[in-house]
Amino acid sequence: MTYQVAMLGFGLLLLLVGLIGRVKAKEVEIGTTSMFARVATALIGSVLVVLSFWLIVKPPVPPTGEVTVKTPPIAVERPDEWGAGSRMPANLVSDANGGNLLVFQNNFDTPDRAMESRNPGEGNCTFEDGWLMVENTSQDATRGYLFPYRLAGTFPSSVLIEVDARLVQGSKNRRFGVVFGANETGESPFSDYYGFFVTADGWYGVLRMSQGAWTPLVSVNRSDVIKPGIGLIHRLRVEARGRSIAYSVNDTLLGTVDTDREVGGGIGFFVDYAGMVVAFDNLRISQPGKKSRL
């Protein structure tokens, strides 16, 4: 029994005593013959009844520091400071970390079966244990597979993208990672885009795909922050500001690079080589704060 219910019962008992003068419950009899005492008892009972009802029906207050914000992964037309017509998710959430403004997040804990896809000879996208699994099934071993993540919408050239990535199976020396700034022209989805990639043997690079060919913006480099091995989680971050791109792995800034166009558009996930399976999780997309460079 909660204290609100106990208070309600006691209040009703006092109210009855005040109204009728005497109440008998089993072998216990409670009452008074004094009119003053009855009025006072009725008033106290009324206050307890009203207070207990209010405590029962009032909405609960979440404890400080444990407020959880759920941002539904739904993109809507939302003209605002990012430019009229930009497709962004609803429910912008202020992020206390670095003054960034969280506009989309998905931890893939709830499988979206409508998003699952199987493209024979190209690649598969499925959900497993709270991870988005992207598999390259190409018959051409050297052909990469790009999964366009259109659910996130498209973003302007000021954006911070974060995601966890780990190689589940396949070649440790082939790249995987996040695609961003993707434009769609004609019947060619994601025909012009950028990619920030790592390998499971400790290398990273930033490239641009245009007219069917990759152009390195940053030469492939090795970094000690990318621990080699299958199954290890790497936190990838890429921040675009106009034509400038900053990139980091596991909270370590690896560099910046400039490009020849505004880095705005859609995002996706890339798996470079046939037989590779890469898992992605904890996707966050933000409008970066004034000082944020990852």
How is the chain classified by DSSP, letter by letter? --HHHHHHHHHHHHHHHHHHSEEEETTEEEE---HHHHHHHHHHHHHHHHHHHHHHHSPPPPPTT---------EEE--STT-TT-EEESS-EE-SSTT-EEEEEE---S--TTT-EEETTTEEEEEETTEEEEEE--SSTT--EEEE-GGG--B-SEEEEEEEEEEEES-TTS-EEEEEEEEEETTEEEEEEEEEEE-TTSEEEEEEEETTEEEEEEEEEE-TTS--STT--EEEEEEEETTEEEEEETTEEEEEEE-SS---BEEEEEE-STT-EEEEEEEEEEE--TT---
Say yes or no: 108 and 145 in one domain.
yes
pLDDT value at position 35? Answer: 74
Is residue 48 domain-shared with residue 100, that is, in the same domain? no
The domain boundary residue, chosen from 29, 57, 85: 57
**Quick one: pLDDT at residue 72?**
38
- In this structure, the answer to whether residues 152 and 239 fall within a common structural domain is yes
Sign of the dihedral through C-alpha 269, 251, 241, 95: positive
Counting the structural domains of the chain, the total is 2
Asked if residue 175 and residue 43 are part of one domain, the reply reads no
Q: Please report, in tens digits, the pLDDT of each residue of the chain (294 residues total).
A: 467 777 777 777 766 766 776 666 656 566 666 777 777 777 777 877 777 777 776 644 433 333 333 333 433 333 344 333 333 343 334 444 457 888 889 999 888 777 777 777 789 899 999 999 999 998 887 788 999 888 888 888 889 999 999 999 999 999 999 999 888 665 556 778 999 999 999 999 999 988 778 889 988 899 999 999 999 999 999 999 989 999 999 999 999 999 988 888 889 999 999 999 999 999 999 988 766 665
Q: Please check whether residue 236 is in contact with residue 162, taking contact to mean a CB–CB distance below 8 angstroms.
A: yes
Question: In terms of domains, do 34 and 87 share one?
Answer: no
Does residue 112 lie within any of the structural domains? Answer: yes
Are residues 175 and 277 located together in one domain of the fold?
Answer: yes
Chain centroid to CA 92: how far? Answer: 11
Nearest one of 161, 293, 152 to 237, comparing CA atoms: 161
Of the candidates 288, 186, 205, 185, the one whose C-alpha atom is nearest the C-alpha of residue 249 is 205
Residue 70 lies in a domain: no
113 with 43, same domain: the answer is no
Tokens standing for 1?
A: 């029994």
Whether residues 247 and 131 fall in one domain: yes
Find the domain containing 212 and state its range. Answer: 76-287
Q: Residue 59 corresponds to which tokens in the numbers above?
A: 């909405």
Query: Model pTM?
Result: 0.66
- The Cα–Cα gap between 52 and 105 comes to 40
Task: Among 57, 85, 102, identify where a domain stops.
Answer: 57
Residue 66 lies in a domain: no
User: Are 39 and 103 found together in one domain?
Assistant: no
Using a 10 angstrom Cβ sphere, with 0-12 exposed, 13-18 middle and 19 or more buried, the burial of residue 208 is buried
Q: In terms of domains, do 278 and 222 share one?
A: yes
Determine the Cα–Cα distance for residues 10 and 82; give it in Å rounded to an integer: 58
- 24 with 91, same domain: the answer is no
C-alpha span between 102 and 100 (Å, rounded):
6
Residue 63 domain-assigned (yes or no): no
* Any domain includes 254: yes
Same domain as 180, residue 52: no
